[in-house]
Amino acid sequence: MRHILLFLAFILVSTMQAQNNTLPYYEVPEAPKTYTAGTVVARQIDGLGFRFYWATDSLNDNDLLYKPNEEAKTVAETIEHIFSLSQVILSAALQKPVNKTDASNMSAQDIRKEVLFNLKQAADILSKADDLTQFNIDFGAGKTYPFWNAINGPIADAIWHSGQIASFRRTSGNPINSKINHFTGTIRD
């Protein structure tokens, strides 16, 4: 009996570890059945998550340090910026003031993971909303903006920067996976 319990415990721990190592947005989740304000904006965030996932997949040190000129940010700095944007998006979804985590002591892989989970959590919350008026961006000190600003601000900005990363890594010699289908949000076999 003891061996069976140990075996079951091993399976449970292994399953939990496998789930913890699985990142969202390898593919875009299945589309909702209905169009609401929440499902549309969640789908936009899902598209961002998919693009960010693949733009940042398998980056090497050369990619992370790449920047096209001295005035530009490196890919690693751009990933940190997207992390900051994902925190703004998630804070709005959670209906809490923006509280940005300092990423200076985090690895690029840890930041990537946090971005993907932030986006997934925000999309899951927002997908259930019919009305987005309660999801303001609150920077504190009386600086509150309606959710409209999340769409044209951090969501659009993060999409923009994900494209930059994809372009920069192509230039540094490590292009994104050629089997990605951005239109369907899937990976071809």
Comparing C-alpha atoms, which of 83, 102, 93, 94 is closest to residue 150?
93
Residue 102 confidence (pLDDT) above 70: yes
- Band (pLDDT 50/70/90 cuts) for residue 14 is very low
Q: Write down the pLDDT at residue 21.
A: 56
Band of residue 189 on the pLDDT scale cut at 50, 70, 90: confident
For the chain, give every domain's residue range: 34-187
Domain 34-187, architecture per CATH = Up-down Bundle (1.20)
Q: Is 92 a residue whose pLDDT tops 80?
A: yes
Q: Average model confidence (pLDDT) for the chain?
A: 90
Per residue in 125-178, pLDDT (tens digit) is 999 999 999 999 999 999 999 999 999 999 999 999 999 999 999 999 999 999
Q: What per-residue confidence (pLDDT) applies to 81? A: 97
